[in-house]
Structure 1
Amino acid sequence: MAVFTSVSELDARELLEHYTIGEFVSLRGITAGIENTNYFLSTTQGEYVLTLFEVLTLEQLPFYIELMHHLAAKGVPVPEPMTRRDGKRICVMHGKPCSIVTRLRGGYEPEPTVEHCRQIARTQAQAHLAAQDFPLEQPNLRGLSWWKTTVPQVLPFLDESQSELIQNVLQEQSRFANSDTYRALPQGPAHCDLFRDNVLFAGTSEAPQMGGIIDFYFAGCDTWLFDVAVAVNDWCIDRLSGALNQEKALAWLESYAQVRPFTEAEHIAWPILIQAAALRFWISRLYDFYLPRPAQTLKPHDPRHFERVLRQRRDHAVPALPR
Structure 2
Amino acid sequence: MSVYTQLTDDQFAAFCQSFGVSFARAIPITQGIKNSNWFIQTTDDVDGTYSYVFTLFEERPPADIEKMAVILNQLNGKLPVAAPLAVIESNGSQTDGDDKRYVIHYEDKAITLVPCLAGSHPEQTTQAMCHDIGAALAMLHETLQALQPSEQYGVPLYPWSDVRDREMQFMPGDEAKLMSDIWRSYSELPLTTLPKGLCHLDMFADNTLWNLQKGEARLTGLLDFTEVSVEHYVMDIAITINDFCTTWGVAEQGESVNFDRSKMAAFLQGYESIRPLNNDEKRALPVMLAKAAVIFWLLRLNVIHYNRTEGRTGDNIMVKNPDLMKRLAAYHWAQVEKAQNTVFVLEHARYKDDDRNNDVEDFKLIGVFATEQQAQAAVSQLKNQSGFKAYPNGFHIDEYPIGQIHWSQGF
TM-score normalised by structure 2 residue count: 0.71
Please tell me the residue identity of whatever aligns with 2:64.
Q
Instruction: Check if 1:68 corresponds to 2:109.
Output: no
Q: Which has the higher contact order (CA 8 A, sep 6+)?
A: 1
Aligned to 1:107: 120
Aligned to 1:315: 334
Instruction: Give distance in 2, aligned partners of 1:242 and 1:31.
Output: 23
Does the 8 A contact of 2:13 with 2:24 survive in 1? no
Q: Which residue of the other structure, out of 54, 57, 67, is the alignment partner of 2:58?
A: 54
Please tell me the residue identity of whatever aligns with 1:19.
F
Question: In structure 2, do the counterparts of structure 1 residues 315 and 52 end up closer, same or farther at CA, with 3 Å as the change threshold?
Answer: same
Instruction: Check if 1:17 corresponds to 2:20.
Output: no
Q: Which residue of the other structure, out of 272, 275, 281, is the alignment partner of 1:266?
A: 281
Please tell me the residue identity of whatever aligns with 1:298.
I
Instruction: Check if 1:210 corresponds to 2:219.
Output: yes
SS of residue in 1 equivalent to 2:25: strand
Aligned to 1:251: 266
- Percent of paired sites with the same residue: 23
The total of aligned residue pairs comes to: 310
Question: In structure 2, do the counterparts of structure 1 residues 183 and 310 end up closer, same or farther at CA, with 3 Å as the change threshold?
Answer: same
SS of residue in 2 equivalent to 1:17: helix
Matches within 5 A, 1:15-164: 15-20=15-20, 22-43=21-42, 44=44, 47-72=51-76, 74-86=77-89, 87-135=100-148, 136-142=152-158, 146-164=159-177
SS of residue in 2 equivalent to 1:59: helix
Deviation of 1:205 after TM superposition, in Å, equals: 7.3
Q: Which residue of the other structure, out of 294, 298, 312, is the alignment partner of 2:317?
A: 298
Does the 8 A contact of 2:64 with 2:155 survive in 1? no
Structure 1 segments (4+ residues) deviating >3 Å: 240-243
Does the 8 A contact of 2:60 with 2:109 survive in 1? no
Deviation of 1:229 after TM superposition, in Å, equals: 0.4
Does the 8 A contact of 2:182 with 2:333 survive in 1? no
SS of residue in 1 equivalent to 2:140: helix
Comparing 87-96 and 285-294, the one that deviates more:
285-294
Question: In structure 2, do the counterparts of structure 1 residues 205 and 307 end up closer, same or farther at CA, with 3 Å as the change threshold?
Answer: farther
Please tell me the residue identity of whatever aligns with 1:50.
F
Please tell me the residue identity of whatever aligns with 1:117.
C
Q: Which residue of the other structure, out of 224, 228, 242, is the alignment partner of 1:233?
A: 242
Q: Which residue of the other structure, out of 179, 196, 203, is the alignment partner of 1:187?
A: 196
Instruction: Give distance in 2, aligned partners of 1:171 and 1:266.
Output: 18
Instruction: Give distance in 1, aligned partners of 2:257 and 2:73.
Output: 35
CA-to-partner distance for each residue in 1:38-92, whole Å, 9 max, x for gaps?
Answer: 01112238711111011111232222222112211x4211111111123310101
Aligned to 1:276: 291
Instruction: Give distance in 2, aligned partners of 1:295 and 1:68.
Output: 32
Instruction: Give distance in 2, aligned partners of 1:24 and 1:264.
Output: 52
Question: In structure 2, do the counterparts of structure 1 residues 205 and 315 end up closer, same or farther at CA, with 3 Å as the change threshold?
Answer: farther
Instruction: Check if 1:5 corresponds to 2:9.
Output: no
Instruction: Give distance in 2, aligned partners of 1:205 and 1:113.
Output: 14
SS of residue in 2 equivalent to 1:298: coil
Deviation of 1:104 after TM superposition, in Å, equals: 0.8
CA-to-partner distance for each residue in 1:107-148, whole Å, 9 max, x for gaps?
Answer: 100211112112211111111111111243325523xxx121
Greater share of strand residues, 1 or 2? 2
Segments of structure 1 that go 5 or more residues without pairing to the other structure are none
Does the 8 A contact of 2:56 with 2:110 survive in 1? yes
Does the 8 A contact of 2:33 with 2:318 survive in 1? yes
What RMSD over aligned residues (CA atoms) do the two structures have, in Å? 2.1
Question: In structure 2, do the counterparts of structure 1 residues 193 and 101 end up closer, same or farther at CA, with 3 Å as the change threshold?
Answer: same
Does the 8 A contact of 1:2 with 1:35 survive in 2? yes
Deviation of 1:243 after TM superposition, in Å, equals: 4.4
Q: Which residue of the other structure, out of 198, 203, 209, is the alignment partner of 1:200?
A: 209
Comparing 256-265 and 58-67, the one that deviates more:
58-67
CA-to-partner distance for each residue in 1:285-322, whole Å, 9 max, x for gaps?
Answer: 22223442415422211111111111111112699xxx
Instruction: Give distance in 2, aligned partners of 1:18 and 1:315.
Output: 53
**Which structure has the greater CA radius of gyration?**
2
Comparing 99-108 and 133-142, the one that deviates more:
133-142
Deviation of 1:271 after TM superposition, in Å, equals: 1.7
Deviation of 1:26 after TM superposition, in Å, equals: 2.1
CA-to-partner distance for each residue in 1:156-195, whole Å, 9 max, x for gaps?
Answer: 331111112212222332343xxxx322222211110111
Deviation of 1:149 after TM superposition, in Å, equals: 0.8
